[in-house]
Amino acid sequence: MGLMRSAFLAGSRSAWLRERATRYGFVRRSVSRFMPGERLEDALAAARTLQERRTGAILTQLGENVADADEADGVRRHYLDVLDQAAARGLDVQISVKLTQLGLDLDQERCLAHLTALVERAEGRGSFVWIDMEGSAYVDATLDLFRRARASSARVGVCLQAYLRRTPADLEALLPLRPALRLVKGAYQEPPDRAFPRKKDVDEAFFSLATRVLGQARGEAGDLLAIGTHDAPLVERLREFIAGHGVPESAYEFEMLYGIRRALQTRLVEGGGRLRVLISYGTYWFPWYMRRLAERPANVWFVARNLLSG
């Protein structure tokens, strides 16, 4: 793993750094490239603009590892409100949640109750709940809660990370459920016995996992692969596979992050592809932003430019 990447991922876990860095205007200005704003209102406005460009949205309020139950209750209330507001405005908006933000570290059953309440509301509003995948210590609990929520509704999907060595086995165990899955490369710092350290291996694992799902997809209700990457050559390879194997259109969609590879996003939509963009908002953006810098150290130049121009 590159030194820069390790440093940013270590920085993402530092409360000391978060405290200080978020006070600086140049850091905040750099973040705005990836975030339309801190308020829900900003995210909903961005979702409307995306909808005008035939692109769906997924909203996520930044936050993880909440340390008290009241906070987790507040997160549940917040997301219920997001689902209501999006429906009232006629927006094609889904939500994406981190289970540790819903109190997974505190009480697993209560976390499940929060998740189930969100899935029920999504069902009522014609929406959908995605569960993010966090560090590898949370994979078992996350998949367990996903299965339990999925038993009562198909309006919930879970993220799998291609960099983890265990993911092919997790995928095989999940496939009989005909689940909605979001495949991503993985954004956390993991030891080499758990995750492939080399980008090339992660990319190959992604292709192999994606084609495993797409190769057997029938496009039935609930059965969806969200291809979560901005990697243009990988997207191209997968599009060739999809065309060559007659994969039904309803069986997959592309998902990308707000502000990243906008030209690729536009090309996909103009070429008739289905795209959803994940919009993050909220005040707790520091660890998340460090992970974005770790993915692409060239982003550091945006921070530096904002420092100089500020």
Q: Which residues bind ligand FDA (CB under 6 A)?
A: 132-133, 159, 161, 184-188, 228-231, 255-257, 260-261, 278, 292, 295-296, 299
Q: Residue 226: in which H helix or E strand, if any?
A: strand 224-228
What gap in Å lies between CA 299 and CA 287, rounded to an integer? 15
Nearer to ligand FDA, 212 or 296 (CB): 296
What gap in Å lies between CA 83 and CA 136, rounded to an integer? 29
Residue 69 beta carbon to ligand FDA: minimum distance, rounded to whole angstroms: 23
Residue 246 beta carbon to ligand FDA: minimum distance, rounded to whole angstroms: 25
Catalytic residue among 76, 121, 125, 132: 132
Nearer to ligand FDA, 142 or 218 (CB): 142
> Among this protein's residues, is 70 annotated catalytic?
no
Residue 90 beta carbon to ligand FDA: minimum distance, rounded to whole angstroms: 23
Signed CA dihedral, 20, 11, 77, 29: sign only: positive
Residue 298 beta carbon to ligand FDA: minimum distance, rounded to whole angstroms: 7
What gap in Å lies between CA 241 and CA 245, rounded to an integer? 6
Catalytic residue among 76, 125, 150, 182: 182
Q: What share of the chain is helix, strand, coil (3-state, %, to 5)?
A: 55, 15, 30
Give the HSE-up count for residue 302: Cα atoms under 13 Å, Cβ half-sphere.
17
Q: Which phi-psi region, left, alpha or beta, contains residue 73 (left: φ > 0; alpha: ψ -120 to 50)? A: alpha
> Among this protein's residues, is 170 annotated catalytic?
no
Q: Is 164 helix (H, G, I), strand (E, B) or coil?
A: strand
Nearer to ligand FDA, 72 or 288 (CB): 288
Nearer to ligand FDA, 2 or 25 (CB): 2
Residues with catalytic annotation?
A: 132, 182
